[in-house]
């Protein structure tokens, strides 16, 4: 099994109880700037989390239902070596990490919600041998 790692921004959640259902590996706070495009909050509390593969589908569904519905400019994402969950409010993309088309669909959805393009700049995984070329 391959667990999923990713980030949940605490300020993106209406229901923060979901944070008790994931393993928080680290937390950092980032002050909001104009580039974040979230002027309704002053900071982002970024939790790096680990989600067991055996509970990932159920967990991301709960995260999707917990994301702020007032402001659509939020998502969370979690990946392992083969797949990437990209989680919006009430919409989850389960992406094959080799599929540009699947990433493009998630990116276009995020942009349509008003998320800045630089924040949804998803790309397929590159094999280690390709990185050295």
Residue 61 belongs to a domain: yes
Give the per-residue pLDDT at 1: 59
Q: Strand (E) positions, 1-133?
A: 4-9, 23-31, 43-51, 76-79, 83-88, 91-96
In a domain, 12, yes or no: yes
Q: Could you tell me if residue 78 is inside a domain?
A: yes
Residue 56 in domain: yes
What pTM was computed for the model?
Answer: 0.88
Q: How confident is the model at residue 129 (pLDDT cuts 50, 70, 90)?
A: very low
Other beta carbons less than 10 A from residue 78's beta carbon: 23
Q: What is the pLDDT of residue 130?
A: 41
Structural domain contains residue 133: no
Looking at the 3D structure of the chain, how many domains does it have?
A: 1
Residue that has been written with the tokens 């917990």 in this structure: 66
- Cα separation, 32 vs 129, in Å, equals 37
- 58-100 pLDDT per residue, tens: 999 999 999 999 988 899 999 999 999 999 999 999 999 999 9
In a domain, 132, yes or no: no
| pLDDT tens column, 32-64 | 888 888 888 889 999 999 999 999 999 999 999
CA pair distance 98, 42, nearest whole angstrom: 36
Q: Report if residue 98 sits inside a domain.
A: yes
pLDDT tens-place string over residues 6-31 = 999 999 999 999 999 999 999 999 99
**Residue 101 forms part of a structural domain:** yes
Domain that holds residue 102: 4-127
């Amino acid at each position: 099994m391959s667990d999923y790692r990713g980030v949940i921004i605490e300020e993106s959640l209406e229901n923060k109880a979901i944070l008790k259902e994931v393993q928080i590996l680290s937390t950092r706070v980032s002050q909001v700037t104009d580039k974040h495009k979230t002027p309704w909050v002053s900071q982002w509390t970024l939790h790096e989390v680990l989600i067991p593969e055996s509970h990932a589908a159920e967990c991301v569904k709960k995260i999707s239902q917990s994301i702020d519905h007032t402001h659509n400019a939020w998502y969370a994402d979690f990946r392992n070596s083969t797949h990437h969950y990209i989680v919006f409010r009430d919409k989850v993309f389960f992406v094959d990490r080799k599929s540009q088309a699947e990433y493009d669909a998630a990116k276009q959805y995020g942009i349509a919600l008003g998320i800045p393009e630089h924040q949804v700049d998803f790309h397929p995984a590159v094999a280690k041998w390709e990185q050295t070329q």
